[in-house]
Amino acid sequence: FTPPEGYDRYVVIDFEGKDEIIEFPAIALDARTLQELDGPCSPACGAAATARNRFHRWVRPVALFNGKPLNPRSEAVSFAQALQEFDAWVGGPEAGARTLFVICGDWDIKTQVPKQCRLSGVPVPPYFSSWANLKVLYNEHFGTDTRGMKGMLGHSGMLGPHGQVQGQHHLGMHDSTNIAKVLVRLVQAGGATGVTGCRDSSGRISSRWSAQGTRR
């Protein structure tokens, strides 16, 4: 396969949480080898990561538990802290210049990141101004009309014997792992990767449609 021009790595993200982000997972892949990046993480990452390849934080919602007691043993942190640790892990504000953020759909970065940043009173990091919607890239290359992660896994022959996904569906790190597998499959099959959606400084979104008409 040919490494993507202009990118050193992929970072696969699959947030969990409907009203607010409650799980913040990410997996980094070397764009040339398609292997998870290896090596130590910056100490600024704190407890969120021990290596360059994976980042994970449980996130405490801003409003969901208002007026309710919190579990003192919970490992969840504020979104602001999780984002600060992720920023250190991913390489700072300019990380997007050589990183392609890959998500399964548009929602994670197009919608939920700006919403959560507003709720948490923090700015949207500049590297979250563009993303690659894996569903559309996959459908464009294979001529399919898969509507989600499970469909892509099934088409790629990566479901279990009873049609089940590996791990627990809707657990963020498990889903991120499965999305990364689909990304590797796509690239190894000669599929193109690149930005499919972006947000300008005014917040206006630009994205393209897949060959099958599925919106990213």
The predicted model gives 34-62 an average pLDDT of 75
Q: What is the pLDDT of residue 215?
A: 41
What was the pLDDT predicted at 95?
86
**Dist. CA 29–CA 36, nearest whole Å:** 4
Q: List, as one string, the DSSP characters of 101-141.
A: EEESSSIIIIIIHHHHHHHHT-PPPGGGGEEEEHHHHHHHH
Element spanning 182, H or E:
helix 172-188
Q: What percent of the chain clears pLDDT 90, i.e. is strictly above it?
A: 61
Angle subtended by helix axes 134-142 and 172-188, to nearest 10 = 30
Convert 101-133 to b/e letters by CB count within 10 Å (16 or more is b).
bbbbbbebbbebbbebbeebeeebbebbbbbbb
Q: What is the pLDDT of residues 124-164, one digit of tens each?
A: 999 999 999 999 999 999 999 998 898 899 999 988 887 88
pTM comes to: 0.87
Residue 42 has pLDDT above 70, yes or no: no
- For the cut 70, the answer to whether the pLDDT of residue 205 exceeds it is yes
Cα(23)–Cα(120) distance, rounded to whole angstroms?
15
pLDDT over 90 (residue 75): no
